[in-house]
Amino acid sequence: MQYYSTRDRSQIADEKEAIFRGPAPDGGLYVPETLPKFSYADFLDAPYPALAAAVLAQFFPAFDYDALSFWTQAAYGDFRTPGVVGFCDLGECTVAELFHGPTAAFKDFALQMLPRLMSASAEGRRVRILTATSGDTGKAALAGFQDVENTDIFVFYPAGGVSPMQMRQMATQQGKNVHVYAVRGNFDDAQRTVKEIFADEGIRRRGEEAGIAFSSANSINIGRLVPQIVYYIYSYLELVRRGTIEMGEKVDVAVPTGNFGNILAAMYAKEMSLPIGDFICASNRNNVLTDFIRTGVYDANRPFYKTTSPSMDILVASNIERYLHRILGRDYKIRERIDALKEAGKYSVPIDAIRRSKLVGYWSGDAEAEARIREVFERDGYLMDPHTAVAYDGMKKHGAARHVLVMATASPYKFPDTVARALGIDEDDERAQLEKIEALSGVPIPAPLAAVFDLPLRFEDTIDVEEMRTVVQEGFYD
């Protein structure tokens, strides 16, 4: 299949080159020339790995189907719940638990697959993966690329801008090819600098001279985005299997949203024929997306807040660029809007185009999220993390007439301070918080999270944003 840049349709690559490169040479994001229709009903009884292989084959036909089947089985075979995705029925909604992978976050679905796709696409070339993270992507990328041949991975996270558990997960990462840095600044600073490094001809040239290419494990990489489509199809089919809905009946989806990749995957699933009604984009106090959806004006000129849902502490959402490409049709003035965002911090699009896409936006403060955690636990005995609570709150504010899939993106044990406070647990020690939450809820602490307390901290360096350019070039001439 051919892929082209959101900013220039003449910038074309096949699937392997698109995955290997990450962003397009002009800084745009690769999108497929067409979105294939998918006969989802044919896979009602298919296990998750088989469904994943079938979906990936639609987007990446250059890969051998048997290889895709082998990779999906390997990627998802060790998830901690038999069906890979867990589910909990809360009446008006069903929670799809996407946190049963090796790092207890939804990013595992893509980042257990991407290293396999990347290695096959590299065809022996050395690659240096650069990743900015607001929390979950970093650990999932490190775990996925750990000790992968011909690959180094550099992860940058905002100092003080992730939960202590997220920081500990990254700082204790094993592997000879992994590098982790805290950055003085916020996620947007780190993400912007990574994009600037990709666009820096001097760094790219020096990398080529050293036999090293750069790529991304963020959702700007199409190989990160496509695997996320699968769990929307699988979750829909699970609702049919449970008798919650009839085949072909529409559902709404509520998605905690930061960089816009997760909810964009749902939109792609709909265009592939999955019956989705409204897309409920749930944000925290960094509500730039909510305002954009309601007004058509994307304005990043606003204060940045550190919240208890740090994976959504983002003001510049990268995958909005792919969304603009979908909703503006033949209006390919994406570059002008991205340039306006860089120069003036804002741009606008026709509000009718957003409304036609069935995207709605809501935001929740920290207190609202904690109240939802407490409410759902006291009423249903169900434990959710603060990001999922934001999505649940968005669903309640929307008042959907249809059944809703609420996408649970992380284990509640990744944010024990917030969850403990919501449940009335008076404890400051993180390990003790986990144990008391487990005792109260009866929900076991995921083994990978319990284990981090017994691992040494390997990565404790904090650097300035400007130093990122230096560290990614280390070892070029060794």
Paired tokens of 34: 């067409």
Q: Residue 417 falls within a domain, yes or no?
A: no
* One domain, residues 142 and 182: yes
Q: Residue 2 falls within a domain, yes or no?
A: no
The distance of Cα 52 from the centroid of its chain, to the nearest Å, equals 17
* One domain, residues 325 and 453: no
Which residue do the tokens 């083994």 mark?
A: 447
Instruction: Give tens-digit pLDDT for 189-236.
Output: 999 999 999 999 999 999 999 999 999 999 999 999 999 999 999 999
What is the reported pLDDT for 329? 72
What is the reported pLDDT for 477? 59
C-alpha–C-alpha distance, residues 411 and 100, integer Å: 8
Q: Residue 95 falls within a domain, yes or no?
A: yes
Q: Residue 362 falls within a domain, yes or no?
A: yes
- Contact in structure between 292 and 360 (CB atoms under 8 Å): no
What is the reported pLDDT for 475? 79
Which range of residues forms the domain containing residue 300? 71-103+223-411
* One domain, residues 324 and 250: yes
- Contact in structure between 52 and 29 (CB atoms under 8 Å): no
Q: Residue 218 falls within a domain, yes or no?
A: no
* One domain, residues 247 and 341: yes
- Count of beta carbons in the 10 Å neighbourhood of residue 439: 9
Domain boundary among 384, 411, 438: 411
* One domain, residues 348 and 258: yes
Q: Which residues contact 141 (CB under 8 A, 6 or more apart)?
A: 107, 111, 114, 129, 131, 133, 153, 155, 217
Q: Residue 140 falls within a domain, yes or no?
A: yes
* One domain, residues 269 and 329: yes
Closest among 375, 359, 354, 430 to 165, alpha carbons compared = 430
C-alpha–C-alpha distance, residues 161 and 153, integer Å: 20
* One domain, residues 295 and 146: no
pLDDT tens across the length of the chain (478 residues): 999 999 999 999 999 999 999 999 999 999 999 999 999 999 999 999 999 999 999 999 999 999 999 999 999 999 999 899 999 999 999 999 999 999 999 999 999 999 999 999 999 999 999 999 988 899 999 999 999 999 999 999 999 999 999 999 999 999 999 999 999 999 999 999 999 999 999 999 999 999 999 999 999 999 999 999 999 999 999 999 999 999 999 999 999 999 999 999 999 999 999 999 999 999 999 999 999 999 999 999 999 999 999 999 999 999 999 999 999 975 568 999 999 999 999 999 999 999 999 999 999 999 999 999 999 999 999 999 999 999 999 999 999 789 999 999 999 999 999 999 999 999 999 999 999 999 999 999 999 999 999 999 999 999 999 999 999 998 775 5
Q: Residue 83 falls within a domain, yes or no?
A: yes
| The model's pTM | 0.96
* One domain, residues 83 and 165: no
- The total domain count for the chain is 2
* One domain, residues 143 and 203: yes
What residues pair up with 94 in beta bridges, in sequence order?
89, 405
Domain boundary among 411, 436, 466: 411
* One domain, residues 259 and 390: yes
* One domain, residues 263 and 144: no
Domain boundary among 391, 411, 431: 411
* One domain, residues 197 and 235: no
What is the reported pLDDT for 400? 76
Q: Residue 322 falls within a domain, yes or no?
A: yes
- Count of beta carbons in the 10 Å neighbourhood of residue 370: 19
Instruction: Give tens-digit pLDDT for 373-387.
Output: 999 999 999 999 999
Which residue do the tokens 């909990």 mark?
A: 88
Which residue do the tokens 């690769």 mark?
A: 30
C-alpha–C-alpha distance, residues 284 and 314, integer Å: 9
CATH code of residue 240:
3.40.50.1100
Instruction: Give tens-digit pLDDT for 8-31.
Output: 999 999 999 999 999 999 999 999
Cα–Cα distances in angstroms (integers) from residue 293 to residues 190, 323, 352, 366, in the given order? 25, 12, 10, 21
Q: Give the chain as a 3 state SS string.
A: CEEEECCCCCCEEEHHHHHHHCCCCCCCCEEECCCCCCCHHHHCCCCHHHHHHHHHHHHCCCCCHHHHHHHHHHHHCCCCCCCCCEEEECCCEEEEECCCCCCCECCHHHHCCHHHHHHHHHCCCEEEEEEECCCHHHHHHHHHHCCCCCEEEEEEEECCCCCHHHHHHHHCCCCCCEEEEEEECCHHHHHHHHHHHHHCHHHHHHHHHCCEEEEECCCCCHHHHHHHHHHHHHHHHHHHHHCCCCCCCCEEEEEECCCCHHHHHHHHHHHCCCCEEEEEEEECCCCHHHHHHHHCEEECCCCCCCCCCHHHCCCCCCCHHHHHHHHCCCCCCHHHHHHHHHHHCEEECCHHHHHHCCEEEEECCHHHHHHHHHHHHHHHCCCCCHHHHHHHHHHHHHCCCCCEEEEECECHHHCHHHHHHHCCCCCCCHHHHHHHHHHHHCCCCCHHHHHHHHCCCCCCCEEEHHHHHHHCCCCCCC
What is the reported pLDDT for 332? 64
What is the reported pLDDT for 144? 97
